[in-house]
A and B are shown apart, each in its own frame.
Chain A
Amino acid sequence: MIVAEKKPIEEIIEGIKDYQKILIAGCNECVTVCEAGGKKEVGILASALRMYFMNQGKTVEIDEITLERQCDHEYLEEIRDSIDKYDAVVSLACGVGVQFMAEKYPRVPIYPGVNTRFMGVTEERGVWTERCQACGECILAKTASICPISRCAKRLLNGPCGGSTNGKCEINKDLDCAWQLIIDRLKALGKLEDYEKLIPIKDWSKDRAGGPRKVVREDVRQ
Chain B
Amino acid sequence: MRLQYPETIRIIKVPCTGKVDIIHILRSFEKGADGVYVAGCLEGDCRFEIGNLRARKRVEEAKKILEVVGIGGERVQMYNLSSSDGPRFAEIADEMTEKIQSLGPNPIKLALKKIAA
A residues neighboring B (CB under 8 Å): 8-10, 40, 43-44, 47-52, 54-57, 59
Contacts and interface: CB of A to CB of B under 8 A. Distances in A.
A54 B111 contact: yes
Nearest to B115: A59
A48 B61 CA distance: 12
Interface of B: 21-23, 26-27, 29-30, 65-66, 68-71, 107-108, 111-112, 115
Nearest to B28: A47
A43 B21 CA distance: 11
Contacts of B26: 44, 47-48, 51
Contact of B30 (A8, A10, A47, A56): A47
B111 A48 contact: no
A116 to B, nearest CB: 21
B106 to A, nearest CB: 9
A30 B69 CA distance: 27
B103 to A, nearest CB: 14
Contact of B111 (A9, A44, A57): A57
Contact of A9 (B68, B108, B115): B68
Contact of A51 (B21, B22, B23, B108): B108
B65 A40 contact: no
A55 B71 contact: yes
Nearest to B62: A44
B27 A47 contact: yes
Contacts of A56: 70
A48 B65 contact: yes
